[in-house]
Structure 1
Amino acid sequence: MLSNKSRPVIEATLPLIGSRIGEITPIFYNRLFTAHPELLDGLFSRSNQKNGTQQQALAGSIAAFATHLVNNPGTLPEAVLARIAHKHTSLGIVEEQYPIVYEHLFAAIVEDLGDAVTAEVAEAWTEVYWLMADALVKLEKGLYAQQANDKIWTPWTLTSKEEAGTDSVTFRFAPADETPATVAAPGQFVSVRVKLTDGVRQCRQYTLSDNVTSTTERVITTKIDSGGEVSPFMHQSLQVGDVIELSNPYGDLVIDTVGAPIVIATAGIGCTPSASALANLVAAGSEREVLVLHAEQQEANWALKYQMLESVAALPNAEIRLWLEDLENKDAGTEATAGFMNLAGLELPVDAKLYLCGPLPFMRAIRSQAIDAGIPATSIHYEVFGPDLWLAA
């Protein structure tokens, strides 16, 4: 825990560091990749560096961790650390890389803040960094130990590639070697690593969208991101029979088959964890009370429509509500509400747990509505595709 010596220093300098962290992190990444350009091959995302989201996520995680240490002495922000640890392990981050990050991060802090970084300030923030790093290393070692193998990446063969709504595709993979595969949990993701035309490998996390407990198949459904590199390659260049690398399954947004009632609210391609959870509930013969809420711009965009509707129909205590911005082009038999999703007027199950996945503005709005409706913040869980900009905010 943060020492009594460092706490007042962190408390005094947190506003300054917090106000400058957005400028510090780009300097950090420039230093890091200048010294270690190999990290852009198969570890860091070039597109997330280009659009700035990775810098924002790193800044947010550091600020959130330091703020927690100041405001909650004697504890660690477990939810923040778990989310980061799952992303790290899906990419193969190891303990030996933390000193490298420390070296270039603190050089960036000194470059930006200059004489404001006294020996006392440097010592206090060094303590914060290593408290965070040591906590993450411990969590990550535990996550690695839970896997059925000791490999970061294993080869998988594409066996099927099918359209799944406008601009979305479902990919099915089978193991390409004899490496034991880990059983996934509904809501978890895998990292995908592909070699692009310039020879550089790039990674992206995708939620498993079906058949999650299988060890002989991995299924993901992706929507093409025109600003990215991995999804365009997969949609346009990856063919049945090709072999790519997948990580073991990770992710802390896991939806169990038993327990309190659940509300799953999604928008767009955020439906993937919902679809996998519903399929898993059906396979388990679950009688859990489930309310599925989904929003789309138009019905044709709904990537996993039929899978989700079939699952809801097969569950004895499940129902689904749909919101469409464009009602004119919906199917004749589809029941939907016009406009954006709104929880007002819905009878939410008592003691419900709420799971959110979709664009950040959508999740923020629904979270606020859920709290207004009486769902405690501690019962609301979310998944962000890509760098966690909610935390950064």
Structure 2
Amino acid sequence: MLSEQSLPVVRATLPVVGGAIGEITERFYPRMFAAHPELLRDLFNRGHQADGTQKQALAGSIATFATFLVERPDERPDAMMARIAHKHASLGVTSEQYKIVHEHLFAAIVEVLGEAVTPEVAAAWDEVYWLMANALIAAEAQLYQESGVAEGEVWRDMVVSGRHAETPDAVSLTLRRADGGPVEPFLPGQYVSVQATLPDGARQIRQYSLSQAPGHPEWRITVKRLRGEDARPQGEVSSWLHENVRPGDTLTVSAPFGGLTLPEGEGPLLLASAGIGATPMLAMLDHLAATGSTRPVLVAHADRTPADHAHRAELTRLTSELPGASLHLWYEDAHASVPGARAGRTDVAALDLPPGLTAYLCGPLPYLKSVRGALLEQGVAPAAIHYEVFGPDLWLGRD
């Protein structure tokens, strides 16, 4: 918690700093990348920098953390912090890089707020930053230790052993260790990062869920090619993987991370997904089927059309192998070709939700907001709803 001398200062200045945090992050990133261009080239997602979502996520996380320190000093936004820590670990972020962020973030704060940043204000917000940074550094150190790697040393070479087109825009890749060793164990629902060296020499990194359960001799990821409103390829890494990677090629891949993982126990589950968000749910279902689970499982998936639904046959098969599971599908178009599918978008009210349900959600942010809100209306406890969002988390602290 904040020190006695910093707490009233942060409380008094939170409206000002919070109101300016968007402009501060706008200044922060150009300053940092000018001093350290390798960070934009080889670590940060250039697409999220270009569209502004990474800046929004950083601003939201700082504002949320500071608000907790002032309004709920005995608590921390643990779900938010865990998602950030897992993402950082999957990128190989090190404790030294927090010093770089601190230097340029506080220079941006002074640049935006000017004389309002007195020594007292600077010291108080410095404390906020390092409380958050040190909590993340500690969490990431624990993740590195659990993975059996040194800080930041998460990368290994993997050979692409197979490639399969799941839909016109989704391809699955199976991966084996280049050194011939066994693939590491992971928890159903976790993801890995994949490095791609693009034509301009930049090394860009993206995360992909492991879409099969632990226990298989190889890992599998499923990559959806992102497209813009004009239907042209938009994601530079997903497009590069689609166009260039074939069996026999080598990819640099991280150890598995991610906190949206299948819980132990026999309680009822809801696995709800949209689009490529089905991939972590596939790993969970695969694990449940492999272990002979009889727990009640509602599987709900939404997609644009059946043809766009990656791994649809596999999702159907795995659900049918579980005696306590039921599958519920929604398609915006052409749903009549799939028996039992509904038209439109996921309707939680159409599901018979058992008491004691734990819900796991994965998909685009509007989908997460809609389904979570509907679950709350149906009486599901907020603490029982967990989610994973691909890309910058613009919904920080809402758990």
State the TM-score, normalizing by the size of structure 1: 0.96
Is 2:206 the counterpart of 1:204? yes
Cα deviations across residues 5-41 of structure 1 (Å, max 9, x unaligned)? 1112111211121121111112111011111111123
| Separation (CA, whole Å) in 2 of partners of 1:199 and 1:108 | 29
What amino acid is the match of 1:135? A
Do the aligned partners of 1:57 and 1:392 also contact (CA within 8 Å) in 2? Answer: no
Matching residue within 367, 384, 388 for 1:362: 367
Do the aligned partners of 1:154 and 1:179 also contact (CA within 8 Å) in 2? Answer: no
| Separation (CA, whole Å) in 2 of partners of 1:259 and 1:141 | 32
| Separation (CA, whole Å) in 2 of partners of 1:88 and 1:74 | 25
For structure 2, the residue ranges without an aligned partner over 5 or more in a row are 227-232
What amino acid is the match of 2:234? G
Number of aligned residue pairs = 390
Q: How does 1:1-393 map to 2 (within 5 A)?
A: 1-150=1-150, 151-177=153-179, 181-214=183-216, 216-225=217-226, 226-256=233-263, 258-327=265-334, 330-331=336-337, 333-391=338-396
1:197 deviation in Å? 1.1
| Separation (CA, whole Å) in 1 of partners of 2:155 and 2:202 | 16
What amino acid is the match of 1:158? V
| Separation (CA, whole Å) in 2 of partners of 1:36 and 1:241 | 34
What amino acid is the match of 2:47? S
Do the aligned partners of 1:162 and 1:169 also contact (CA within 8 Å) in 2? Answer: yes
1:179 deviation in Å? 6.2
1:180 deviation in Å? 6.4
Q: Which secondary structure state, in structure 1, belongs to the residue aligned with residue 160 of structure 2?
A: strand
Identical counterparts, % of pairs: 48
1:244 deviation in Å? 1.0
1:251 deviation in Å? 0.3
Question: Cα–Cα, structure 1 residues 178 and 133, in superposed 2: closer, same or farther, change >3 Å?
Answer: farther
Cα deviations across residues 47-88 of structure 1 (Å, max 9, x unaligned)? 111111111111111111111111111332221111110000
1:211 deviation in Å? 3.5
1:149 deviation in Å? 4.1
Do the aligned partners of 1:299 and 1:330 also contact (CA within 8 Å) in 2? Answer: no
1:265 deviation in Å? 1.1
For structure 1, the residue ranges without an aligned partner over 5 or more in a row are none
Question: Cα–Cα, structure 1 residues 259 and 124, in superposed 2: closer, same or farther, change >3 Å?
Answer: farther
RMSD: 1.5
Do the aligned partners of 1:323 and 1:338 also contact (CA within 8 Å) in 2? Answer: yes
| Separation (CA, whole Å) in 1 of partners of 2:181 and 2:112 | 47
1:113 deviation in Å? 1.1
Cα deviations across residues 210-247 of structure 1 (Å, max 9, x unaligned)? 14344x41211121113321100001111211111000
Structure 1: 4+ residue segments shifted above 4 A: 178-181
What amino acid is the match of 2:174? R
